[in-house]
């Protein structure tokens, strides 16, 4: 039940001989080295805001293809953790590796996004004036794997990909609608689709079902279950019914006061007295 016990996938430390080569590989968009099965590795990450520790020696590791749920009370540090992973916030101490050899604490937000970490914020950010299809097309143009050309034309392969994503995000048949006319939930799906088009190696979703109707929440759980194993995903959520739907046999990590309070299956964390005390209630 303790994150500190799962340290077996430690990547090489910075200063390792091929760190510069790894950094270049990421900069050029040619991918992250996950040969030992870890896509993300955080060790002893501490973030201080004027002396207040939003993260306090946080440990986390995510395997390739894993769908990990992160829960915990307001202010536990969940969003701050995503800020560290995406380079928005620099930790005061600790190690953050993407794959085997990419030191996230030394990269810019831009380079981290380019390296293949896609993040969805709580509020949907789609291009409201554009149609659903155009939004996905724009995302395709921003795909780091696609060679930029002066006059971008979709290949048939790219059209197929957009089509597949449209089906996945339940917007097939709505491709000519203006994104601004979609429901809140549909906008969230569209944004997830835009991230998927960019083929992230790791997808971070912060409260994806906040503000959704029950039906939209249920469909989002289905969507994430369809992505299981195909992508490495970290989901932060407060909606426990939703978390139970997507946790399945996977692991749930509970954060509290900037550290891991508990870690295990949904059933294990739900039965944990400390988790009940600080978060789930009796
Ligand atoms: N830029 C900042 N400056 C000062 N304090 C901050 C800053 N960002 C976050 N904090 C504080 O750090 C703590 C962790 O915040 P964070 O947003 O990571 O929590 P969270 O787990 O995402 O909570 P929620 O479930 O409410 O979204 C909170 O006490 C918050 O007030
Ligand atoms: Mg948050």
Q: Which ligand has an atom closest to residue 83 CA?
A: 1
More confident residue, 99 or 24: 99
What pLDDT band is residue 233 in, cutting at 50, 70 and 90?
A: very high
Nearest atom, ligand 1, residue 49 CA: 4
Report, as an integer, the average pLDDT of 245-272. 96
Question: Is the Cβ atom of 78 under 6 angstroms away from ligand 1?
Answer: yes
**Which ligand sits nearest to residue 81's alpha carbon?**
1
Given a cut of 60, is residue 19 above it in pLDDT? no
91 CB burial (10 A radius; 0-12, 13-18, 19+): buried
Cα of 13 to ligand 2 centre, how many Å? 29
C-beta of 152 in contact with ligand 1 (< 6 A): no
Q: What is the pTM of this model?
A: 0.87
CB 124 within 8 A of CB 187: yes
Mean model confidence pLDDT for the chain: 87
Give one DSSP letter per residue of 243-260, joined into a string.
Answer: HHHHHTTS-EEEEETTEE
What percent of the chain is modeled with pLDDT above 90? 72
Cα angle: 226, vertex 72, 63; to 5 degrees: 45
Interatomic CA distance for residues 6 and 59, integer angstroms: 9
For residue 281, the model assigns a pLDDT of 86
Taking only the tens place, the pLDDT of each residue in 135-159 is 999 998 877 666 666 566 788 889 9
* Separation between Cα atoms, residue 12 and residue 183, nearest integer Å: 45
Asked if residue 54 has its Cβ within 6 Å of ligand 1, the reply is yes
Q: What is the pLDDT of residues 32-73, one digit of tens each?
A: 777 668 899 999 999 999 999 999 999 999 999 999 999 999
**How far is it, in rounded angstroms, from Cα 137 to Cα 154?**
8
pLDDT at 267 over 60: yes
77 ligand 1 Cβ < 6 A: yes
pLDDT bin (cut points 50, 70, 90) of residue 122 is confident
Tell which atom from ligand 1 comes closest to the C-alpha of 76: 21
In the reported structure, the alpha carbon of residue 76 is separated from the centroid of ligand 2 by a whole-number distance in angstroms of 8
**Residue 7 scores a pLDDT above 60:** no
- For residues 18-38, give the mean pLDDT: 60
Nearest to 163 by CA among 150, 175, 147: 175
- CA of 160 from ligand 1 middle (Å) equals 40
Statement: residue 255 has pLDDT above 90: yes
Query: CA dist 118 to 12, 38, 64, Å?
Result: 24, 17, 15
Whether the pLDDT of residue 11 is over 60: the answer is no
Q: Whose atoms come closest to the Cα of 51: which ligand?
A: 1
């Amino acid at each position: 039940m303790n994150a500190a016990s799962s340290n077996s996938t430690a990547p090489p430390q910075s200063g390792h001989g091929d760190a510069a080569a790894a950094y270049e590989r990421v900069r050029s968009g040619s991918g992250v080295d996950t040969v030992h099965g870890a896509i993300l590795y955080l060790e002893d990450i501490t973030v201080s805001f004027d002396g207040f520790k939003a993260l306090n020696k946080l440990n986390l590791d995510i395997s390739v293809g894993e769908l990990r749920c992160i829960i915990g009370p307001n202010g536990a540090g969940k969003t701050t953790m995503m800020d560290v992973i995406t380079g928005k916030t620099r930790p005061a101490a600790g190690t953050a590796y993407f794959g085997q050899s990419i030191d996230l604490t030394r990269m810019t937000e831009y380079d981290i996004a380019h390296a293949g970490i896609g993040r969805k914020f709580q509020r949907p950010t789609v291009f409201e004036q554009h149609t659903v299809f155009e939004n996905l097309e724009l995302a395709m143009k921003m795909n780091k794997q696609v060679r930029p050309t002066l006059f971008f034309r979709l290949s048939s392969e790219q059209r197929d990909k957009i089509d597949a994503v449209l089906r996945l995000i339940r917007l097939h048949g709505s491709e000519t609608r203006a994104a601004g006319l979609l429901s809140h939930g549909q906008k969230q799906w569209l944004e997830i689709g835009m991230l998927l088009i960019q083929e992230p190696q790791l997808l971070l979703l912060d409260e994806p079902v906040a503000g959704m109707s029950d039906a939209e929440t249920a469909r989002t759980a289905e969507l994430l279950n369809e992505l299981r194993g195909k992508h490495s995903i970290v989901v932060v959520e407060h909606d426990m019914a939703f978390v139970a739907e997507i946790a399945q046999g996977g692991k749930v990590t509970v954060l509290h006061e900037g550290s891991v309070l508990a870690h295990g299956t949904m059933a294990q964390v739900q039965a944990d007295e400390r988790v009940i005390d600080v978060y789930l209630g009796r």
